[in-house]
A and B are shown apart, each in its own frame.
Chain A
Amino acid sequence: MRIPIRMISVATTIFWIFLIIFAITAVYSVKDLHFEFGEPQMSTNADNDVVLSLPIKIGNGGLYDMGPFRVTTIISDRNGSTITKGSTSVHVVRRGENVTATHNMTIDINGLIQGDHNYLTNDIELNFYVEVGLGVAEVIPVQVSTNLSVPWGAPFYNFTLGEPAYEAFNSTHARVTVSISFENHAFFDIAGAIQIKMYNNRGLLVGNGQTTVDTPQHSSYNGYIELYVSLTDMTPNGRLEVYFQTPPLNYGPLVFPYG
């Protein structure tokens, strides 16, 4: 019985030494792991959704292969409803290798604004949840997560329509000028057209006009739209409907009463 006991002792000792060495080297390998986040890129896809891309460079200078590497991001509104969710995973990062992964998040801007038009004209705080997971030496999962608050910049912040200014054009029509002003706080440029339809107090369309806008992000716009309306249908009050055709954003109508 002494020999089997001796063999168990030897085997146990070898396994313990192996385990301790593995634990130490695995922890040290994490030190030689490098992450680099590139500049976020913005593009639009075929469905006219905004795609935010974040390049992530992972360098594994450690002693073991690392993986799976996974990044998950969730953007939600104040009520906790998910606006967008993105997930990127790299199956394995072999030792001595550099891998570049691109983390994509697709935001349906139109759907977002259709759901709540406050996103169009008001800056809002959004919840941003980030979760990064990594398998150290492919066997010890480590996960880091955090909740951040990120500002949503409204593309038409403080959108204001002035009172219509009437001017006689000819015997049947008047020229109506409506001033427009807003600030583009969004993370994308605004280029396209804004259309206004004017309805009288009986709900009859009396005129419409549009103007082109080209407002880079973080800049303001001041302009006006001219409409030609029939004198006979014109009433002192009614409503103005504003349509935004500024890809990737197409929204309307935003209704303003006048008079």
Chain B
Amino acid sequence: MVEETNNNLKARLKKFTFKALKATVKGVIFYVVYFVLWITFLAQAAAIFPGLQQMIETFVTVYIVLIILGELTSGTIYQFFFDAAKSLFMIGYLILSLNGGKLGIAVQNVNLVVDIRIFLTIVTLLSLLGLAKAILQAINFMSERAEYTQIQPVGA
């Protein structure tokens, strides 16, 4: 009995370690992508638009936290909650922080306005697609579980 509990604990620990490792790898990959984008062109844009760096850093931090939480809770229904949260966060945060897609800056006497509403619309639509995917995955997860619990008593 004790041996069985020990084996169970070991298996759980192994599973959790694997999840943590996977979450770390995903978080690192996302950070590397952000870092490359930052070096290539975001840094130049941040030099023009003050506050952009803080906005991007906040976004990346929250997004990586949601990625890690999603991975750590994989195999449970909460994984899909975090996936949905990621999509909703992306839509809400981008719309609010990008001022609805019209970025404006005034340097001395020069006003610069960049209209990225089309870009923001595409991002929103892709995030909605991600949200729909998370909902479908959650429904699929629940239905598979329901099938499993229905089959179990018959087989038992």
Which residues of A pack against B, CB within 8 Å? Answer: 1-2, 4-5, 8-9, 11-12, 15-16, 19-20, 23-24, 27-28, 139-148
Bound state CA distance, A9 and B132, in angstroms? 10
Q: List 11 A-B contacts (CB under 8 A).
A: A8-B129, A11-B129, A12-B126, A12-B129, A15-B129, A24-B41, A28-B41, A141-B114, A142-B113, A144-B111, A145-B113
Complex CA gap A8/B119 in Å reads: 20
- On whether the beta carbons of A147 and B114 are closer than 8 Å, the reply is no
B90-135 contacts to A, CB under 8 A, are: 109-116, 118-119, 122-123, 126, 129-130, 132-133
| 6 pairs of A and B residues whose beta carbons are closest in the complex | A141-B115, A1-B140, A143-B113, A8-B133, A146-B110, A145-B111
With contacts A140-B115, A142-B113, A144-B112 known, what are 15 further pairs, Cβ within 8 A?
A1-B143, A4-B136, A5-B133, A8-B129, A12-B133, A16-B126, A24-B40, A27-B41, A27-B44, A142-B115, A143-B113, A144-B111, A145-B110, A145-B111, A146-B109
Report A202 CB to chain B, min CB distance, Å.
Answer: 56
Cross-interface CB contact of A19 among B109, B122, B130, B139, cutoff 8 Å: B122
Please state if B111 and A5 are interface contacts (CB–CB under 8 Å).
no
Contact B111 A8 (CB under 8 A): no
Any A CB within 8 A of the CB of B32? no
Q: Which of B40, B41, B129, B136 contacts A1 (CB 8 A)?
A: B136
CB interface residues, B 32-52, toward A, < 8 Å: 37, 40-41, 44-45
Query: Residues of A contacting B109 with CB < 8 Å?
Result: 146-148
How many whole Å from A54's CB to the nearest CB in chain B?
19
Q: Is the interface of A mostly helix, strand, loop or mixed?
A: helix
Residues of chain B at interface, number, CB under 8 A? 27
A-contacting residues, B42-69, CB 8 Å: 44-45
Q: Is B73 an interface residue (CB 8 A)?
A: no
Structural contact, B41 and A12, CB atoms closer than 8 A: no
Q: Which chain A residue shows the least CB distance to B36?
A: A24
In the assembled complex, the CB of B63 is this many whole angstroms from the nearest CB of chain A, namely 13
Q: Which chain A positions have C-beta within 8 A of B41?
A: 24, 27-28
Q: Is B137 an interface residue (CB 8 A)?
A: yes
* CB-based contact B140/A5 at 8 Å: yes
Cα A177 to Cα B8 with chains together (Å):
120
B133 touches A9 (CB 8 A): yes
> Would B113 and A8 count as touching, CB distance under 8 A?
no
Smallest CB gap from A20: residue in B: B37
A140 lies within 8 A of B119 (CB): yes
Chain B residue, CB-CB nearest to A26:
B119
Residue in A142, A147, A148 with the greatest tally of chain B CB atoms within 10 Å: A142
Q: Name the residue on A nearest B41 (C-beta).
A: A27
Q: CB < 8 Å: which of B45, B110, B133 contacts A144?
A: B110
- With a CB–CB cut-off of 8 A, which chain B residues contact A8? 129, 132-133, 136
- B129:A24 contact, CB within 8 angstroms: no
CA distance A140 to B98 in the complex (A): 14
- Least Cβ–Cβ distance between A32 and chain B, in angstroms: 13
* Complex-state Cα separation, A140 to B115, whole angstroms: 6
Q: In whole Å, how far is A10's beta carbon from the nearest beta carbon of chain B?
A: 11
- Kindly provide the distance from the CB of A132 to the nearest chain B CB, expressed in whole angstroms: 10
User: What CA separation (Å) do A4 and B140 show in the bound complex?
Assistant: 11
Given A5-B133, A8-B136, also A24-B112 (CB < 8 A): no
Q: What's the minimum C-beta distance from A214 to chain B, rounded to whole angstroms? A: 39
Q: With a CB–CB cut-off of 8 A, which chain B residues contact A2? A: 140
Q: In the complex, what distance in Å separates the CA atom of A146 from the CA atom of B111?
A: 6
- Alpha-carbon gap, A5 to B126, bound state (A): 14
By a CB distance below 8 angstroms, the chain A residues around B37 are: 20, 24
In the complex, the answer to whether B116 meets A140 with C-beta atoms within 8 Å is yes
